[in-house]
Every structure is written in structure tokens, then in C-alpha cells.
């Protein structure tokens, strides 16, 4: 169901269009990470954040079933790169309990991406976490979402 | 000021993202349907729950 009955069918973009000034600024913020993090890493984060927050429909919006399944089994899957693996390890802790993120998890991401890269990864996760929670609270279904609108 | 604290935080390592975030954050605080006290109450409650010093 939707909590916004006047927004039909309630896609992410349609809901954000209720506040066009914020929609543009939000999209620009999301776009800032396009050149900072590689798309496979960004997409892996999108898939895993959606999975951990109980939105498999949003994960399925990002990639095909093989890729989605590989990310779900990231710790053992050969289809997940080493870059993705260290990020996904941090991703799970970030979403479940940010206080549970360990120094080793931070160091693993920093060692592969640098300090600025670690900041970018954490910011990207914050964006995705917020978007998925936003879509869940407002009952917004998957589909018709941009790169950040997972 | 919150913006100063954010600007001097590790977020500054991604200056383009920081600039765009501050623009979005400023819009959230300066415009909209929700009054300022309600936004501040939500901000404080969020910070308390997440144990955030900001």
C-alpha cells in the first residue's frame, strides 16, 4: 500500500517530485559518487543494503539474479571481487549497527581505496541506507529509480 | 555551527560530495512543510539514538 495516495503509482521519483527543490539537490548529491566509486562497487552496496533491510525487490532492480545471489553470498562467492568483498563486509555492519563497524573493517577499505575512498564508501552507504529506509517507510515499490534510488 | 563541524570532518576528503551535501542539508533546514522546532527535535532524537556527537 502507499501512504501517499495522491502519488500514483508512487515511484521514488514521483514521491521526490513532491519536493522538486530537494529532489534536484538529492540527485546531485547522489551523482557526486559516480566518478568516485566504480559502478560494480556502488551496485554491490545497493544490492546488499536492500537485502539486509529486507527489500529484495530493490536488490533485484540493480542486477540480474546471479549477481544478486552472489552479493548475498559475498564472503564465499568467486563472482565478488576483492574490492567488493571488503566493502560488503563493512556494509553489513553499517546497516545493522554502525557502532559494530570494526577498526579492521575500516582499515581494509582504507587500504584498498585510500582515506578519501573510505569516506566515499561510508557516505555512499549512508545514502543507500537512507533511500531504502525512505522507500520502505513510505511503501514505495521498486522500479523507475535512478542510480541512487535503489 | 553544524555546517562548520561537517566541513571540518572527514567528509572534507570528498569536497565535491561535501559541497552538494551541504546544499541539500541547507535546503532541508531552510525550506519545507515541517516547522523548524520539529526538525530540530527529530535531529536531536536521531543523534541521541545513534549516539552521534553532532
* Domains parsed from chain A with CATH numbers: 12-137 (1.20.1290.10)
Reported ipTM: the value is 0.83
With beta carbons under 8 A apart, name residues in chain B contacting A29.
17, 20-21, 23-24
At residue A5, does pLDDT exceed 70?
A: no
Give domain limits for chain B.
2-50
pLDDT of residue A136: 92
What is the secondary structure of chain B as a DSSP string? -HHHHHHTSGGGGSHHHHHHHHHHHHHHHHSSSS-HHHHHHHHHHHHHHHT---
> pLDDT band for position A149 (50/70/90)?
very low
Closest chain A C-alpha to B49 CA, distance in angstroms: 11
Rg (CA), chain B: 12
Task: For chain B, list residues whose CB is within 8 angstroms of any CB belonging to chain A.
Answer: 10-11, 13-14, 16-17, 20-21, 23-24, 27-28, 31-32, 50-51
pLDDT of residue A126: 96
CB of B46 closer than 8 Å to CB of B28: no
- Quote the pTM value: 0.89
pLDDT digits (tens, 9 = 90+) for A57-66: 999 999 999 9
pLDDT digits (tens, 9 = 90+) for A60-119: 999 999 999 999 999 999 999 999 999 999 999 999 999 999 999 999 999 999 999 999
Phi, psi of A73 (to 5 degrees): -110, 40
Amino acid at each position: 500500500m502507499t501512504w501517499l495516495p495522491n502519488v500514483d503509482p508512487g515511484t521514488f521519483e514521483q514521491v521526490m517530485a513532491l519536493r522538486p527543490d530537494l529532489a534536484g539537490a538529492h540527485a546531485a548529491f547522489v551523482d557526486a559518487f559516480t566518478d568516485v566509486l566504480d559502478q560494480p562497487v556502488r551496485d554491490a552496496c545497493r544490492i546488499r543494503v536492500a537485502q539486509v533491510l529486507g527489500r529484495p525487490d530493490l536488490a533485484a532492480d540493480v542486477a540480474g539474479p546471479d549477481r544478486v545471489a552472489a552479493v548475498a553470498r559475498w564472503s564465499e562467492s568467486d563472482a565478488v571481487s576483492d574490492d567488493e568483498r571488503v566493502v560488503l563486509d563493512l556494509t553489513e555492519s553499517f546497516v545493522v549497527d554502525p557502532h559494530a563497524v570494526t577498526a579492521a573493517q575500516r582499515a581494509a577499505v582504507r587500504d584498498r581505496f585510500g582515506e578519501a575512498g573510505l569516506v566515499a564508501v561510508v557516505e555512499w552507504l549512508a545514502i543507500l541506507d537512507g533511500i531504502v529506509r525512505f522507500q520502505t517507510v513510505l511503501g514505495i515499490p521498486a522500479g523507475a529509480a535512478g542510480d541512487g534510488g535503489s | 555551527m553544524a555546517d562548520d563541524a561537517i566541513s571540518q570532518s572527514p567528509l572534507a576528503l570528498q569536497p565535491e560530495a561535501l559541497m552538494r551535501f551541504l546544499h541539500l542539508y541547507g535546503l532541508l533546514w531552510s525550506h519545507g512543510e515541517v516547522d523548524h522546532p520539529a526538525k530540530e527535535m527529530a535531529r536531536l532524537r536521531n543523534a541521541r539514538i545513534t549516539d552521534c556527537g553532532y
